[in-house]
Amino acid sequence: MTLGNDLISRFYLKHLGGEWQETMFAVCPFCKEHGYESGRLVIFLNHQSFFHGYFRCQNRCVPGGFPLWFAQLASIALSEVPGYIPEHEIAGVQPEYPVENINDEVAAYRDRITDAIYGLFKESEIGRSVLSEMRVGFNGRYLVFPYFQEDGNCYSARCVHPDRAEDYFWHGNQDFGREPFNLYNVEDIKRCENGALFLCEGEENLLALKQLGFPGVAVAHYSALEKLPAGLFAKVKTLFISIANSLESATAARNLASRVGYKARILVWQQNAPKHYTLRRLAKDSGKGFAGKVTEMVRQSRAFSPFTSPQREYQLFLQTLGREQGKEFKSLTSSFQLLDGAIGGVHGINVIGGAPKVGKSTFVIQIASEMALKKIPVLYYDFENGRQKIYQRTLCRLARLSTDQFRAKNVSEEQRQRAESATQRLEQMLFFWRVINDRKVTPELMRKHIDFIRHETRSEYTVVVIDSLHKLPFNEFTERRTGIDAWLRQMESMRDDLQVSFLVISELSRGTDGSYREEPHLGVFKGSGDIEYSADNAMVLYPDLPENGLSADKPGAKSTLWLVASREHSPGRVAGYRQDYPYWGFVEHPIGEDF
């Protein structure tokens, strides 16, 4: 594009004359109308600048703004303005403003500013002309910041002690000290249509920017950022958000930026900036160099993005790759050698379905307890057996003693020693193994549990067991299938965000003949069509029922584990499993081996 040949530059040259420059000067056409000696109008015409097309009078006879505001002041047909959209002029529903206002009081307070107050602002290079333009006043004890509304009237003002910012009150109509009216200098939003605008935390910080000639609005406190509707800035191209240097302010700014979208840019403080540092303090410390500091902050700001930067994305990839090469990742195994070989360990979302009484819970309890013994944090959400039964069965398996033997008073010395050793091992593993029976668990609560146990065990990974998927609480979901699918979506998110592996027990549907003997497929999982999309590994534990129809829960019953579907591994039969009666466990054997 030829310099000076863009539409905005041509618009200004047509109505002001002169020759194009990146920073163009012209006789202000508005000064005499407002009782000022003729001043100079400054227009910024650098096409690469966020403030391309911004004008301001050096006499401050009128507030600065962008071409649409210039056209309104100069009575130019808006259709001549580049970027004008007639639909934008269709007014929305305006609030009903009261008849009474405090305009006269605001004018009186402005006239009462003392030399001491002027001197206080002068320390931050904020001059009298800015205070006059922003109609700042003084009531004898408090600074008065008038909150003029879009109709041009003031109904409420915030009165702040000059030395103690926490000492303040609202004067006037109290309704206008709350949302949606508590935005200072709100009129600048309209003046900056199709242009750039600053949003500051704190009125005094906006004054520092106004001294430099920038347009902007302000909130009194960072908490107000949370409640600002993003639609306020719909017609602004770029919104620079300037907050105090604090974690709370930064969080509030990010939350607002996420709602405003790409047009929001948060000004970031240097790492060595003092805590709670503000623009006004920066102006005081920098003096004449303040303009350069702000310009650099604007230059370094980045458009808010829902994506991580490419550099950060690459670093995250390398970190994840490094973790997957480490001991902790490789230790996420079930302790069933053939199962681990078939699915590469316990990673991602692993759904295990099974016929009734086949021992699904026993199978998963064994995996969970073995992982906890290896100091892998495990959260076990149990809606089937109860905490006591889970611990008792684990003790039996570890000690190689039956439930009756554990309860018996007269046991051999060797059995007593095995029981004591198993009890000690259980006590040690419980630091890493938490059983939760809360039937009101929510995804939010589950995330808190995960965060806690990761912090407590100082582990990067967590294994979550769900026994069973169909007994999870569905809260507002009236249909079970809808609730199950919603939970699966949440598990996907936790898997990806928190490095969580899942072992999820699922019920099965009966085959066409009413039995569980057909070759398993994804359609056998009960009540969820999303398992095929969510599960990294979908498995089915089927009983090897003899022809005489003996029950699958008989001592020594045998089952086969099938890998029905997998993102990374070949489906098929994994291994055979024999119930290790009466020790509440399973013994794994290769397929085809007589066991």
**Whether pLDDT at 93 is above 60:** no
Range of lowest pLDDT (353-357, 459-463, 543-547): 543-547
pLDDT-based confidence at 325, cuts 50/70/90? confident
pLDDT number for residue 554 = 67
Average pLDDT over residues 194-199: 96
Peptide bond into 468 cis (omega under 30): yes
| 491: three-class secondary structure by DSSP | helix
DSSP secondary structure, 79-140, as one string: GGSTT--GGGGS--PPP---S---HHHHHHHHHT--HHHHHHHHTTT--HHHHHHTT-EE-S
Average pLDDT over residues 115-125: 95
Average pLDDT over residues 389-418: 92
Beta bridge pairs of residue 196: 238
**Whether pLDDT at 276 is above 90:** yes
Q: What is the pLDDT of residues 381-393, one digit of tens each?
A: 999 899 999 999 9
Range of lowest pLDDT (12-21, 118-127, 320-329): 320-329
pLDDT-based confidence at 550, cuts 50/70/90? very low
Question: pLDDT over 90 for what percent of the chain?
Answer: 74
- In single-letter form, the type of residue at position 493 comes to S
Q: What is the pLDDT of residues 233-250, one digit of tens each?
A: 999 999 999 999 999 999
Q: What is the pLDDT of residues 336-355, one digit of tens each?
A: 999 999 999 999 999 999 88
Beta-carbon neighbour count of residue 292 at 10 Å?
10
Average pLDDT over residues 100-119: 95
Question: pLDDT over 70 for what percent of the chain?
Answer: 93
pLDDT number for residue 510 = 76
pLDDT number for residue 548 = 43
Of 435, 333, 365, whose CA–CA distance to 579 is shortest? 365
State the chain's mean pLDDT as an integer: 90
pLDDT-based confidence at 316, cuts 50/70/90? confident
Average pLDDT over residues 297-305: 89
Contacts 24+ apart (CB under 8 A), 333-341: 333/371, 334/367, 334/370, 334/371, 335/366, 335/367, 335/370, 335/371, 336/367, 336/575, 336/586, 336/588, 337/588, 338/574, 338/575, 338/588, 338/590, 339/561, 339/574, 339/575, 339/588
Beta-carbon neighbour count of residue 64 at 10 Å?
25
- More confident site: 505 or 510: 505
Average pLDDT over residues 267-277: 93
**Whether pLDDT at 183 is above 80:** yes
pLDDT number for residue 113 = 95
Q: In angstroms, rounded to a whole number, what is the distance separating the alpha carbons of residues 10 and 129?
A: 31
pLDDT number for residue 298 = 94
| 447: three-class secondary structure by DSSP | helix
**Whether pLDDT at 547 is above 50:** no
Range of lowest pLDDT (90-104, 397-411, 450-464, 542-556): 542-556
Average pLDDT over residues 412-430: 94
Map out the domains of the chain with their CATH numbers. Answer: 7-88 (no CATH), 103-300 (3.40.1360.10), 330-589 (3.40.50.300)
pLDDT-based confidence at 11, cuts 50/70/90? very high
Average pLDDT over residues 329-336: 94
pLDDT number for residue 517 = 67
pLDDT-based confidence at 549, cuts 50/70/90? very low
Q: What is the pLDDT of residues 433-444, one digit of tens each?
A: 999 998 889 999
Residue 470 DSSP code = G
| 424: three-class secondary structure by DSSP | helix
